[in-house]
Amino acid sequence: MDKKWWKEAVVYQIYPRSFQDSNGDGIGDLKGITSRLDYLQELGIDAVWLSPHYKSPNDDNGYDISDYRGIMEEFGTMEDFDEMQEEMHKRGIRLIVDLVVNHSSDEHKWFVESRKSKDNPYRDYYMWSDGKDGKEPNNWTSRFSGSAWEYDENTDQYYLHIFSKKQPDLNWENPVVRDEVYDIMDFWMQKGVDGFRLDVASMYSKTPGLPDGKTDRANIGEEHYQNGPRIHEFFNEMNQKVMSKYKDMMTVGETSAVTVEEAKKYAAADGSEMSMVFQFEHVTMEYINGDKFNLRPFDLVAFKKIMSKWQTELEGLAWNSLYLANHDQPRSVSRWGDDKKYRKESAKMLYTMIMTMQGTPYIYQGEELGMTNVKYDSIEDYQDIQIRNAWDDRVVNGNANPDELMKAIEYIGRDNARTPMQWDDSANGGFTTGKPWLKMNENYREINAAESRADSDSIFHYMQKLIQQRHKYDVAVYGSFCEYDKENPDLYVYTRQLGEQKMLVVLNFTKEEQKFTLPKEIEVKKSELYISNYENDGTMEDKMLRPYEAIAYLYV
Ligand code: GLC
Ligand code: CA
């Protein structure tokens, strides 16, 4: 067992646009973040992952970067950044910044040059291709609807964009591009950041020749750019050129479509690539043919199977990231819990799971308050490019049923997570004195940080306790994992073990009472309560679990 700070850390994700506005323009900013660091310290987290803070025209809220060394004007200045970083470090909070280098903005100077002519020195920074029979070079689709290719009249060629047409894909085959990326990483490391979250890190390498993709799925072409042929070579190189220079650096790759086999390489224990990756199986299991707006019902047994598989199969070989929500996912309590009657109980139950598994837990802003999905009156209220494009593509220009698509958006749409932080019950939840860039969730009057901090039984205080316990007991971090009663459709039951120290976790995923029977294989000499979201003592025995009850015991 190789100990590392980032294995023991709890990471808190900040989506700067929606965290705290400091100047009344309705947009969160860096000074706003700095003003809320005491709150994060009180919660007890160890590191912040900051969604992109770079200069950007905001076609995709900063995931389209036009200057990798500049600060988004709406967020403030480099001085504001330095101050924020310094204040974090003073409080013992490390800073992980987002690095978006599968693509840049089309307004980045590289692309502005690149599109000028076929012989421009920056031409090969991007993926340009001739059309085929007067059409796109292949059948790949953009993850934000439509073709993944955009025609550029100026040079009579197409460029690839797996995301929006304002996010042209960088050409990772070009070693000059890779060196540019390593320089950018050095720049921020030298400024003092503690690592990176690498955006769509599994997509840098594309199959040579860019062949057509299979058409039985929503993201056509995916098999030619997910975990592509040179991807591990690229990460090995990045590791040698960057990671190896900075001893304590943490890297986490966003790797949708990653398999256990691939993750063992990306997040290998020998430290040859990244520290860890985000797997996506548990957040995409409901997608039919990979289409996020076409969903099958949730199935707990299947969900458990996925979670447990990642726990056992990476054991000793690679390190997990643990998450239920982020800026691309809906609110966890609305998705897997009950955001009405049992909001508190179910939110606590869900994070009991995340915080008692092997891997590094991530808490997305507002999850510690049990913030919920939003319900808007009209499609016009949504700002997310993925939602807007899907609507135009399927309803305005297609024949999708608007009510059905709206239902899917309300369940899974990204804006659910992007509504501004709910700090208190004053106008706009204390997020801004102006007009929020994205409409607030109306429930900020009841669900907010001030209320949560005042209530000793709140989700906030429970999360605080979960973090403290994890810091205290190595078994929660490093212990090996074993699941019981796998076919149980209502309960998730597992143990963790590190040497003599053992932990049993029992989670009721339903709003009904459920009978728990202590597995026969488990022998107990002595036990004590680790945490629970209801009144409980430390006696490990058969019992009736209350709605969304979660209990974790320590035992020997
Ligand atoms: C990642 C980001 C998402 C963004 C996309 C394109 O999935 O998390 O927000 O839209 O990459 O950069
Ligand atoms: Ca602002």
Q: What is the dihedral of CA 470, 308, 458, 547, to 10 degrees?
A: -140
Q: What percent of the chain has pLDDT over 90?
A: 100
pLDDT in tens, 265-299: 999 999 999 999 999 999 999 999 999 999 999 99
And the tokens for 198?
A: 């690498």
Q: Mind listing the pLDDT tens digit for each residue in 346-370? A: 999 999 999 999 999 999 999 999 9
- Ligand 1 atom index nearest CA of 414: 9
93 with 72, same domain: the answer is yes
For residue 420, the SS3 value is: coil
> 368 lies in a domain?
yes
- The Cα–Cα gap between 79 and 435 comes to 26
| Domain co-membership, 222 together with 91 | no
Considering the domain architecture, whether residues 410 and 311 belong to the same structural domain is answered as no
pLDDT the model gives residue 178? 98
Q: Is 390 helix (H, G, I), strand (E, B) or coil?
A: helix
> What are the backbone angles phi and psi of residue 229, rounded to the nearest 5°?
-55, -35
Residues 419/423/427/431 CA torsion (nearest 10 deg): -60
CA distances from 462 to 43, 154, 234, 340, 345 (A): 10, 58, 41, 18, 10
Question: Domain for residue 387, yes or no?
Answer: yes
Give catalytic status of residue 425 as yes or no: no
Distance 69 CA to ligand 2 centre (A): 20
Long-range contacts of 146-153 (CB under 8 A, 24+ apart): 146/389, 146/393, 148/221, 152/115
Collapsed DSSP state (helix, strand, coil) of residue 527:
strand
**Closest ligand by atom to 99 CA:** 1
Is 383 in the same domain as 313?
no
Nearest-CA neighbor of 478 among 320, 274, 271, 348? Answer: 320
- Tokens 């949730």 label which residue? 298
Q: How confident is the model at residue 179 (pLDDT cuts 50, 70, 90)?
A: very high
CA distance 27 to 19: 8
pLDDT beyond 80 at 189: yes
Q: Which residues contact 284 (CB under 8 A, 6 or more apart)?
A: 256, 290, 292
The DSSP code for 315 is: T
Angle, alpha carbons 120-122-126 (nearest 5°): 120
The response to whether residue 60 sits with its C-beta less than 6 Å from ligand 1 reads yes
Residue 427: the pLDDT is: 97
- Residue 432 pLDDT level (bands cut at 50, 70, 90): very high
* Domains: count for the chain: 4
Active-site choice (98, 106, 199, 262): 199
Say whether pLDDT at 1 is over 70. no
Give the domain extent around 42.
1-99+332-472
Sign (positive/negative) of CA torsion 181, 186, 187, 192? positive
Q: Does residue 551 fall inside a structural domain?
A: yes
257 in ligand 1 pocket by Cβ < 6 Å?
no
Does 340 lie in the same domain as 461? yes
**Residue whose CB lies within 8 A of the most ligand 1 atoms, among 14, 59, 63, 97, for a mutation test:** 63
Cα separation of 142 and 60, whole Å?
Answer: 13
In angstroms, rounded to a whole number, what is the distance separating the alpha carbons of residues 157 and 278?
A: 35
CA proximity to 274, closest of 470, 99, 86, 76: 99
Q: Are residues 244 and 130 in the same domain?
A: no
* Cβ of residue 100 lying under 6 Å from some atom of ligand 1: yes
Q: At 288, is the secondary structure helix, strand, or coil?
A: strand
Is 203's C-beta closer than 6 angstroms to any atom of ligand 1? no
Give me the pLDDT at residue 311, please: 98
Is the distance from the beta carbon of residue 328 to the nearest atom of ligand 1 less than 6 Å?
yes
The Å distance, Cα 443 to ligand 2 centre, comes to: 22
One domain for residues 354 and 371: yes
Parallel, antiparallel or unpaired: strands 67-71 and 54-55: antiparallel
Name the residue among 544, 538, 472, 322 with its Cα closest to residue 552.
538
On whether residue 489 sits in a domain, the answer given is yes
327: in domain: no
DSSP 19: T
Catalytic residue selected from 80, 254, 338, 367? 254
Is residue 336 domain-shared with residue 417, that is, in the same domain? yes
Residue 130 is predicted with a pLDDT of 98
Average pLDDT, the chain: 98
Q: Which pLDDT score is estimated for 6?
A: 98
Q: Whose CA is nearest to atom 12 of ligand 1?
A: 63
Ligand 1 pocket residue status of 200, Cβ below 6 Å: yes
254: annotated active-site residue: yes
Ligand 1 atom 4: the closest Cα is on which residue?
63
Q: pLDDT, tens digit, for every residue of 296-337?
A: 999 999 999 999 999 999 999 999 999 999 999 999 999 999
pLDDT in tens, 455-510: 999 999 999 999 999 999 999 999 999 999 999 999 999 999 999 999 999 999 99
Among 444, 472, 500, the domain boundary falls at: 472
Domain co-membership, 361 together with 489? no
Does one domain contain both 302 and 346? Answer: no
What phi, psi does 94 have (nearest 5°)?
A: -85, 160
Determine the straight-line distance between the first and last CA of the chain, rounded to whole angstroms.
21
Closest C-alpha residue for ligand 1 atom 7: 200
Asked if residue 166 belongs to a domain, the reply is no
Give distance in angstroms: CA of 53 to centre of ligand 2. 13
Ligand 2: centre distance to CA 81 (Å): 14
Determine if ligand 1 sits within 6 Å of the CB of residue 106.
no
Burial class (CB in 10 A: 0-12, 13-18, 19+), 214: exposed
Q: How many helices (H) and strands (E) does the chain have?
A: 18, 22
Encode 129-151: b = buried (16+ Cβ within 10 Å), e = exposed.
eeeeeeebbbbbbbbbbebbbbe
Residue with tokens 């294995």: 7
Q: Which of 408, 440, 472 is the last residue of a domain?
A: 472
Query: Does residue 98 have its Cβ closer than 6 Å to ligand 1?
Result: no
Domain limit, last residue, from 160, 184, 202: 160
The mean pLDDT of 153-160, rounded to a whole number, is 98
Does a structural domain hold residue 167? no
- Nearest residue to 442 (alpha-carbon basis) of 380, 339, 372: 372
Q: How far apart are CA 249 and CA 6, in angstroms?
A: 9
What confidence score (pLDDT) does residue 103 get?
99
> What is the C-alpha separation between 355 and 176, in angstroms, rounded?
41
CATH number of 486's domain:
2.60.40.1180
Whole-number pLDDT of residue 368: 99
Positive or negative, the Cα torsion across 205, 207, 210, 211? negative
Pocket test for ligand 1, best of 199, 279, 292, 414 (most atoms within 8 A of CB): 199
Report the atom number in ligand 1 closest to the C-alpha of 144: 10
CB 63 near ligand 1, within 6 Å: yes
- Conformation bin of residue 316: beta by default, left when phi > 0, alpha when psi is -120 to 50: left
Sign of CA dihedral 228, 230, 234, 236: positive
pLDDT in tens, 70-118: 999 999 999 999 999 999 999 999 999 999 999 999 999 999 999 999 9
Q: What whole-number percentage of the chain has pLDDT above 70?
A: 100
Same domain, 524 and 396: no
Which residues make Cβ contacts (< 8 Å) with residue 232, sequence separation at least 6? 265, 266, 273
Pair (348, 468) in one structural domain: yes
**Which two structure tokens, joined as six digits, stand for 538?**
């430390």
Q: What is residue 252's three-state secondary structure?
A: strand
Question: Which amino acid, 431?
Answer: F
For the domain that residue 286 is a member of, what is the CATH number?
3.20.20.80
Ligand closest to the CA atom of residue 432: 2
d(C-alpha 524, C-alpha 90), whole Å: 43
440 part of a folded domain: yes
CATH of the domain at 143: 3.90.400.10
Rg (CA), the chain: 23
- Kindly give the distance from the C-alpha atom of residue 199 to the centroid of ligand 1, in angstroms, as a whole number: 6
Cα(320) to centroid(ligand 2), Å: 35
